[in-house]
Amino acid sequence: MNTTGATAANASTSLHRHPWVLRWAGLLTRGRHAGDASLACSDEVLARLPLTLALRSADFAHGGAMALRHAGEGVGDNRSPALAWNALPSEATHWLLLCEDPDVPMARAITHLLASGPRSVDALPEGALNAGHAPAGVTLAPNGLGREGYDGPRPLPGHGPHRYVFQLWALDAPPPGGLLRETTLLPWLRAHALARGRCDGLYRRDWRGRPVAPLP
């Protein structure tokens, strides 16, 4: 576990033991967001890649609400949603999938998922991106909480709607081990990404921590 991830994980666990602290934090930081500029897909180089990968989920529409079962530990079942996409460009050998929340009241978006795999894999069933359940050939890297695989939505109560931006890149080489969103990921993607796709899910909790309808 990297130091940044360990710190975030410990802080998150501590806060969830004190729901009133979470509620006040959500209300007091309601107007603060990392912003879209902190997303990987907003990088000056990566944003110019063709948006030709039709990334989709059978569990939510683009811009639609994610189900409670996909919400993070302590909120929902923390099951990764089903994802699929159209064929990669002919020169692509691999793909990389990243999910970030740009609506957190932090300096930059937080990573909920970082995974990669070969072009032969173009669909992932529900739960396939949870640690210990990845299909053959699919690699799960540490997320922003320092854990491998998927960590689902867990926005602060009362903070407003949060977007969970699933970003897919077609690659001309297999990603090396040890890529980290905070340091090495973007430079590597700038050199090897060929095309991209995006699918956004929404999740929101009221000030008591209850999911806000509509939920699928």
pLDDT, tens digit, 9 for 90 and up, residues 2-48: 444 444 444 444 445 566 565 545 445 666 889 999 999 999 999 99
Distance CA 152, CA 150 (A): 6
pLDDT above 80 (res 142): yes
Tokens 């977007």 belong to residue: 163
Mean of all residue pLDDT scores within the chain: 89
pTM equals: 0.87
pLDDT above 80 (res 167): yes
Name the band, by pLDDT with cuts 50, 70 and 90, for residue 207: confident
What is the pairing mode between strands 110-118 and 94-101? Answer: antiparallel
Q: Which of 172, 88, 171 lies closest to 123 in space, CA to CA?
A: 88
**pLDDT, tens only, 112-139:** 999 999 999 999 999 999 999 999 999 9
Q: 71 with 154: CB under 8 angstroms?
A: yes
Cis peptide leading into residue 157 (ω within 30°): no
Q: 167 with 39: CB under 8 angstroms?
A: yes
Q: What angle do CA 170, 173, 177 make, to 5 degrees?
A: 105
> What pLDDT was estimated at residue 41?
98
The mean pLDDT value for 143-166 works out to 94
The better pLDDT of the pair 103, 7 is held by: 103
Q: 140 with 149: CB under 8 angstroms?
A: yes
